[in-house]
Structure 1
Amino acid sequence: MKRDAHIHSPFCPHGTKDSFELYIEKAILNGFTDISFTEHAPAPQGFIDTVPTRDSFLNPNMLEPYIGELQQLKKQYANDISIKIGLEVDFIEGFEKETTQLLNEIGHTLDDSILSVHFLLKDKKYSCIDFSPLSFNSFVQQFDSLENVYSLYYRTVQNSISSDLGPYKPKRIGHPTLIHKFQHHHNVIVDDHEMIMKTLELMKHNEYELDVNSAGLAKQFCLEPYPPHRYIQLAKDLGIPLVFGSDAHRAEDLHQFYKDVYTQ
């Protein structure tokens, strides 16, 4: 099976309008047998998007059309490729109950899903840590050190793994080193080896899959996959299931760096 299981769509508020068909036809052309569209889930009820563009989440009114269109395409392309309907669900500390409610409402309609951390809580305020270098630097200024930001990030990822979000909780952890996205912008190297290993060990203990996410290689201030290559191998050594995801937000980026990051 050749699989890309982290793909966004024309329904992504901060993506492109490239059609589902563009993604699907490219996947077939490149010999992929299995793809998952994992659009950003709607925000949990009551959460206010903190990015300036307010476009982090799928509009709840678009969830039904998103699923409906994919259901039709699953049938249309059934002889050529397996298409899974999924979502990338945000874990937001303090909104576990609301996230569980959301998953209970929509989980039965999904074939696949990812649990990711994009927002961190500091002094009762939420910040998106991957929006821009400037917004990330502004968030860092609230701390004594960059290492404390990293520590908060990994604690939040670890909490996402341990948290009870009900029977439809995703079983794959998305881009678990997303905190590295701007590492070449702030030019400070944080030794987060133990934090990453603790995260991987917790994933192993709780039987989670790892989103082997190639998108970081395309980010000018990251230049590595999420997680970095050595941790992909260490995860494999631990027996954690590896699932490749290009995290494509446009058809051009579909399957990006597949051969560079994915080892079976």
Structure 2
Amino acid sequence: MKKDGHTHTRLSHHGSQEPLDLYLERAIELGFTDYVVTEHAPLPESFLATYAGPRSQDDDSAMLASELVAYKEEVARVKEKYGEKIRIHQGFEVDYLPGYEAETQAFLQENADWIDEIVLSVHFLENDYGLIGPIDYDPDQLKRFFQRDYRIRRPYLTST
């Protein structure tokens, strides 16, 4: 098996605007047997109401709830078109949002019969002000909201 397990569509507003067909055609050309389309799931409305980051980031971080039907239709279209050449799996990239686990679980349960795979990601953390903010938007936002040191520490490594 040769698999790409994490791909977005044009509904990922921060990514490429290339058609999904181009990605699938290239995967087929490269001998992939499996391809997973995992668009960013819509962020919970309750999260967006209290979001602390730049307003453009809430639109750029995930597809909008109003785009969910279009996403499912796009995946169905490419499965029909390319399904005999490559196994296409469908799912979501879901952000871990501390305090919003119930909303995330409800979304996943509502879509459980459609989901083949889920990618769990962390794009938001509690910042110095107790608000959830973006950690990978841009360096200025990171400095503004996160003075804490989030670097990975490896205490078992010592210098000689």
Per the normalisation by structure 2, the TM-score is 0.85
| SS of structure 1 residue aligned to 2:89 | strand
**Unaligned stretches of 5+ residues in structure 2:** none
Greater helix percent: which structure? 1
Shift of 1:139: 2.9
Question: Take 1:75 and 1:4, find their aligned partners in 2: how far apart are those partners?
Answer: 19
Shift of 1:35: 0.8
Runs of 4+ in structure 1 off by over 6 angstroms are: none
**Unaligned stretches of 5+ residues in structure 1:** 151-189, 195-264
Amino acid at match of 1:130: D
Question: Take 1:106 and 1:14, find their aligned partners in 2: how far apart are those partners?
Answer: 24
Q: Which residue of 2 aligns with 1:191?
A: 153
Question: Take 1:43 and 1:111, find their aligned partners in 2: how far apart are those partners?
Answer: 20
Question: Take 2:36 and 2:82, find their aligned partners in 1: how far apart are those partners?
Answer: 13
Cα 1:29–1:136, aligned 2, differ >3 Å: closer, same or farther? Answer: same
Count of residue pairs brought into register by the alignment: 150
Question: Take 1:128 and 1:193, find their aligned partners in 2: how far apart are those partners?
Answer: 27
CA shift digits 1:18-59 (9 cap, x unpaired): 101011101111111111011100002311252341321111
Q: Which residue of 2 aligns with 1:20?
A: 20
Question: Take 2:144 and 2:130, find their aligned partners in 1: how far apart are those partners?
Answer: 16
Question: Take 2:115 and 2:154, find their aligned partners in 1: how far apart are those partners?
Answer: 34
| SS of structure 2 residue aligned to 1:80 | coil
Q: Which residue of 2 aligns with 1:3?
A: 3
Question: Take 1:30 and 1:133, find their aligned partners in 2: how far apart are those partners?
Answer: 35
CA shift digits 1:52-76 (9 cap, x unpaired): 4132111111111111121121122
What is the Cα-based RMSD across aligned positions, in Å?
A: 1.7
Per the normalisation by structure 1, the TM-score is 0.53
Cα 1:192–1:137, aligned 2, differ >3 Å: closer, same or farther? Answer: farther
Sequence identity percentage: 36
